[in-house]
Each structure stands twice: as structure tokens, then as C-alpha cells.
Amino acid sequence: GAGVSQSPRYKVAKRGQDVALRCDPISGHVSLFWYQQALGQGPEFLTYFQNEAQLDKSGLPSDRFFAERPEGSVSTLKIQRTQQEDSAVYLCASSLEGSYSNQPQHFGDGTRLSIL
Amino acid sequence: DAKTTQPPSMDCAEGRAANLPCNHSTISGNEYVYWYRQIHSQGPQYIIHGLKNNETNEMASLIITEDRKSSTLILPHATLRDTAVYYCIVRPSGTYKYIFGTGTRLKVLA
């Protein structure tokens, strides 16, 4: 079956521009996560949705980062006034159940964002 | 901080078993151990997870010690395509997120 799909796969933007990254989770998955992965590092948590509710946004690095999942399926991560330190791979993951279920997260291949 | 520690790198001969260790000495009774791997330019791929019993699937086996303070991921017959960074993760109780460490870079040699 279809896995987690992210678009675009690559995004280049000039410093100060706004960007929007899309995630299509596995159909029927309740939980959706965003992670940021810097070069040579492991992914770092940004935010978590259970259906349309954003239950944890503790990892968002600044108020320039905003995520939404209005209908409980597709999610968008928006970064305003991008800065060079925002350059990274942004990963989306989904899992079948919500709350603290032990079901594993399934990751997309990410969007590689480069800020010039 | 990650609740796991792993060796930074390992080599394995093609066709042999790859045994990847992970220490998680502060693991709590209801916390699962998850293993993922990441091949260059791809997202982390789920491999296996377990609580206290040994687990096996089509990709690998997971051996968890009786005190649950460590575990080993076993790839029974490593191939060149198994070259990747392998992450061992214990998700802290009461949280939703994974905390990734630096993982083990496994290189399978021809």
C-alpha cells in the first residue's frame, strides 16, 4: 500500500521567503509527526497531531514555524521569513493509533530545504 | 536526551549475521524498544519493535535481555543493501515523540 508521501522532495528558497511543505500520511492513520533532520544528525521532533488536534508543538524552534492538519489527514508545515539555519530535511511520519500507542511511526522520504 | 547508546560504526561481511547492540539502562517497564534504519536520502525505515519478549519478522530479529537494559538487532544474512545508519529508540513514557540518538553506521562489505 501507499506510504507517507511528502512534497516537494527538494525546495530551494531565498532567505526571507515563506515556504510550505506538504505531508500525505498513510490513509486512516490518526497520528502525524513532523521532524527536522540536520546534516549528519538524527531527526529531531517538531510537532505532533492526533487527527486535527495539535497536541504537542514543543519542538518548533521559533514562532516562524507553523503546522496544521485541518481535516485530520493532509498536513502542512509552514516556515515564514526563512533563515539559513532552517536548511535541513523535514520528515513527516504517521502511525495508526493516537495517544501513547506503541504502534510504530512510518516515515516519508522528507523534503530537503535549502535556504540561500 | 536519547535514552539509548549505540556504537558509532560497525562493519559486517556480506552474507554474515550483523549484530547491532543497544544499551537502554534507564528503560521503564512499559517502554518499547524500536529499531529503524536510514539509507542515504531516504526517511527512516521501520524494522521491528518489542517490549520484553524476543521478536522476529521478515527483516530482522530483536533480542531483549531479561533485565531489559539492552537489546540486539540481528540481520541474519547481511547484504550490501543493508548498509545504513541504524537507530535504536526508546520512546519516553508519557510522550508521543521519538528521540533519536546518533545511531550505528553499519557498512556491509563485499
Q: Does B34 touch chain A (CB under 8 A)?
A: yes
In this structure, what C-alpha cell is assigned to residue B48? 521491528
| Residue ranges of E strands in chain A | 5-7, 10-13, 19-24, 31-37, 44-50, 53-56, 65-68, 75-79, 88-95, 106-107, 111-115
* Distance in angstroms (rounded) separating the CA atoms of residues A49 and A34: 9
- Position A97 pLDDT exceeds 90: no
Q: Of B49, B93, B97, which is closest to A33 when you measure between CB atoms?
A: B97
* Distance in angstroms (rounded) separating the CA atoms of residues A89 and A62: 17
* Distance in angstroms (rounded) separating the CA atoms of residues A105 and B45: 9
A99-103, B26-30, B51-55, range with the lowest pLDDT: A99-103
Quick: pLDDT tens for A58-93: 999 999 999 999 999 999 999 999 999 999 999 999
CA dist B27 to B1, B7, B90, Å?
13, 18, 7
Amino acid letter for position A54: Q
- Whether the Cβ atoms of residue A107 and residue A94 lie closer than 8 Å to each other: no
- Position A47 pLDDT exceeds 80: yes
Q: Does B100 touch chain A (CB under 8 A)?
A: yes
DSSP B81: G
* Distance in angstroms (rounded) separating the CA atoms of residues A87 and B50: 34
Question: Searching chain A, which residue's CA lies closest to the CA of residue B51?
Answer: A102
Instruction: Provide mean pLDDT across the span B31-59.
Output: 94
Residues 52-81, chain A, touching B (beta carbon < 8 A): 55-56, 59
- Whether the Cβ atoms of residue B49 and residue B73 lie closer than 8 Å to each other: no
Instruction: Provide mean pLDDT across the span B71-97.
Output: 93
pLDDT level of residue B11 (50, 70, 90 thresholds): very high
